[in-house]
């Protein structure tokens, strides 16, 4: 979780009507011109998303951060994304997260101490085997540093299969964290047999495995998950197929394998957007991902019939913490010359984390 504490906003901000806030953000953007770059993840709410200079999934935004030269980058997303941007930008660039409480519950499921202990236990149990660590980008900078130091790579939802293939060429086994489901879906897509994929339950000794099971395994999955994507279920897929014959199901690979395996398509947020954009008018979709993105797709493609796969509102409440009023507050602080909510990864961690991020960017 963020180490800085989010300060309470001056009541002056909270008393303003949303329309006035929106107008002021536009004004601040104009004043800051090219010195400001606003990056927005696809799960951001519309009132913030409309101000994006660049939008994308985690991979696209990480690449943008490594290439863009603006001195101020305001990251409308969650904490690990802003950390990644800080690692990939120069020390002269300032990365800002509008609300420091915007964390990712999945990233918090892999605490550095837990992963270090698990790594040591695995090394001891497996003796001579070479284990390659892979971390999903939804992890802290410290975890990325641990992976970088040990010869591993970061992956995102759009390159997990590629990175896994690379890792299996480098060593005998892969230790994949924090997302069990992305790891499992990618391993099965590569044809790795089910009995060579084991779960590491972080609460149990040896992750709940015997030494024999670990020796047989090629992929060892940390038991972390996304609270939003866990809400999609195979029954919802069946319900839509019964209700709307011809409907296509598309889901994010953070969903459980029971859902991904029966969907018509799966992919990162960017892949979901592109697949629906390129589908013919009149096509019908049930989409298994965060609700802000599903609603945006509905509005953008009125010629298609787009539904959320789940009957419930699958909202990422931490992404939703980035509200227009916080965006205005951070822009005001830049204009005033005292930027707030700067995300700074200590250099000794950033250096090692960069190894694992750069491995991903070159694989």
Residues near ligand SF4, by CB under 6 A: 78, 104-106, 138, 226-228, 254, 290, 316, 318-319
**Binding partner at 227 among ligand 13P, ligand SF4, none, C-beta below 5 to 8 Å by kind:** ligand SF4
Residue closer to ligand SF4 by CB (options 192, 287) is 287
Q: Could you say which DSSP state residue 269 is in?
A: H
Nearest distance from C-beta of residue 41 to ligand 13P, angstroms: 6
**Binding partner at 297 among ligand SF4, ligand 13P, none, C-beta below 5 to 8 Å by kind:** none
Nearest distance from C-beta of residue 105 to ligand SF4, angstroms: 5
Residue closer to ligand 13P by CB (options 40, 226) is 226
Residue environment code for 329-361, b if the CB has 16+ CB neighbours within 10 A, otherwise e: bbbbebeeeebbbebebeeebbebbbbbbbbbe
Residues that bind ligand 13P (CB under 6 A): 42, 57-58, 104, 138, 156-157, 226, 254, 268-269
Nearest distance from C-beta of residue 81 to ligand 13P, angstroms: 7
Residue closer to ligand SF4 by CB (options 38, 226) is 226
Nearest distance from C-beta of residue 58 to ligand 13P, angstroms: 3
Nearest distance from C-beta of residue 170 to ligand SF4, angstroms: 26
H or E element that contains 319: none
Residue closer to ligand SF4 by CB (options 43, 166) is 43
Nearest distance from C-beta of residue 226 to ligand 13P, angstroms: 6
- If one counts every other C-beta atom within 10 angstroms of the C-beta of residue 157, the result is 25
Whether the upstream peptide bond of residue 178 has omega within 30° of 0, thus cis, is yes
Burial label for 179, CB within 10 Å (0-12, 13-18, 19+), is buried
**Sheet strands (E) in 83-129:** 94-96
Residue at token pair 């090692």: 352
Q: Do residues 65 and 39 lie in contact, with contact meaning Cβ atoms separated by under 8 Å?
A: yes
Burial label for 221, CB within 10 Å (0-12, 13-18, 19+), is buried
**Binding partner at 157 among ligand SF4, ligand 13P, none, C-beta below 5 to 8 Å by kind:** ligand 13P
């Amino acid at each position: 979780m963020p180490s800085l504490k989010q300060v309470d906003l001056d009541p002056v901000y909270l008393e303003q009507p949303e329309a006035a806030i929106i107008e002021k953000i536009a004004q601040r953007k104009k004043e800051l011109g090219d010195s400001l770059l606003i990056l927005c993840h696809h799960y951001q709410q519309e009132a913030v998303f409309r101000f994006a200079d660049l939008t994308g999934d985690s991979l696209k935004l990480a690449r943008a951060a490594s290439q863009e030269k603006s001195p101020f980058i305001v990251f409308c997303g969650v904490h690990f994304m802003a950390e990644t941007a800080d690692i990939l930008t120069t020390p002269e660039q300032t990365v800002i997260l509008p609300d420091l409480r915007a964390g990712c519950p999945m990233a918090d499921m892999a605490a550095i101490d837990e992963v270090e202990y698990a790594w040591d236990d695995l090394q001891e149990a497996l003796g001579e085997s070479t284990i390659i660590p892979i971390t999903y980008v939804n992890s802290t900078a410290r975890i990325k540093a641990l992976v970088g130091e040990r010869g591993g790579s970061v992956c995102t939802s759009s390159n997990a299969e590629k990175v896994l293939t690379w890792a299996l060429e480098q060593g005998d086994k892969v230790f994949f964290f924090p997302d069990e489901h992305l790891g499992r879906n990618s391993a099965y897509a590569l044809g790795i047999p089910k009995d060579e994929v084991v779960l590491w339950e972080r609460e149990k000794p040896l992750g709940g495995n015997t030494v024999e099971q670990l020796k047989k395994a090629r992929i060892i999955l940390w038991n972390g998950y996304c609270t939003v994507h866990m809400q999609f279920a195979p029954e919802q897929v069946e319900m839509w197929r019964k209700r709307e014959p011809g409907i296509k199901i598309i889901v994010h690979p953070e969903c459980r394998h029971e859902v991904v395996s029966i969907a018509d398509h799966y992919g990162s947020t960017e892949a979901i957007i592109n697949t629906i954009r390129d589908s013919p008018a009149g096509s019908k979709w049930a989409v298994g991902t965060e609700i802000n993105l599903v609603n945006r797709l509905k509005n953008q493609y009125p010629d298609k019939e787009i539904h959320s796969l789940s009957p419930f509102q699958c909202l990422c409440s931490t992404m939703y913490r980035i509200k227009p009023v916080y965006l205005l507050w951070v822009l005001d602080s830049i204009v005033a010359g005292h930027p707030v909510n700067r995300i700074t990864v200590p250099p000794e961690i950033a250096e090692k984390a960069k190894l694992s991020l750069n491995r991903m960017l070159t694989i």
